[in-house]
Amino acid sequence: MRILVVEDEAGLREGLIDLLQGDGHDVTAVGDGATAAATGIAESWDLVVLDLMLPRMNGMDVCRKLRGARPGMPILMLTARGSEDDKVRGLGEGADDYVTKPFSARELLARVRALGRRAPSEVTEQIDVDGAVLDFARLVVKRDGATTALTPREVGLLRWLHRQRGRAVSRSEILEQVFGQRGDLQTRAVDMAIVVLRKKVERDPAQPRIIVSIKGAGYAWGEDTP
Ligand code: CA
């Protein structure tokens, strides 16, 4: 398997690399959350082993970003002993399993092998909507023979909105759930991101049918679209 290891403690990181390489895996390791999110989104990994306490972006936020951009990618979280909250939250953020520190080599490898055998999650990788094809795996939208690139964040937003179809979502919810930020001041950033995204995916951005505005509430996936 191609495994991305995210651990800021150098000793443990080296230990994980040795252990996983010894088990026949191709291992890449990074030491902070921001690099982890970028690296994890840039490529599809067979498994991400993700520490929770990280500099520059915590493991929960990294997990949410990875889940948003690559829903089917298995994530194994490393949590501290006794922090039951972290386990629950981690699984809620989309981690597939967790191992509690300190763990034995045997325990970790057992979890890694179990996730490797697991069938990929049911993932929507392509949506045909209102004459457009949203290709999440290739990060593009195709319409009328033209192909337009989408950023990982735009794919995350589209995928998340599609999952919430049938209800209106607020700007602050998008900000928190998709962009991993808080604060009412930045909700304008959501509107700007939607404007840019509509230009890419909508037939007529002035008459959006895929990402519709709900007055007084925020946005919703278009009712008539799959
Ligand atoms: Ca750590």
Q: How far is the CA of 4 from the centre of ligand 1 (A)?
A: 15
Q: Which residue has the tokens 């990994």?
A: 45
Which of the four pLDDT bands, split at 50, 70 and 90, describes residue 163?
confident
Q: H or E element: which one contains 40?
A: helix 33-42
Pairing of strands 75-80, 47-51: parallel
Contact (Cβ atoms closer than 8 angstroms) between residue 3 and residue 48: yes
Give the Å distance between the CA of 169 and the centre of ligand 1: 33
Give 147 Cα–ligand 1 centroid separation in angstroms.
41
The yes-or-no verdict on residue 112 having pLDDT over 80 is yes
State pTM to two decimals: 0.54
- Contact between 157 and 193 under an 8 Å Cβ cutoff? The reply is yes
Query: In angstroms, what is the span from residue 52 Cα to ligand 1's centroid?
Result: 6
Which tokens go with 140? 């593009």
Residue 183's region, left for phi above 0, alpha for psi from -120 to 50, else beta, is left
Instruction: Give me the pLDDT at residue 59, please.
Output: 92
Q: What is the pLDDT of the chain when averaged over all its residues?
A: 86
Domains of the chain with CATH codes:
2-115 (3.40.50.2300), 120-221 (1.10.10.10)
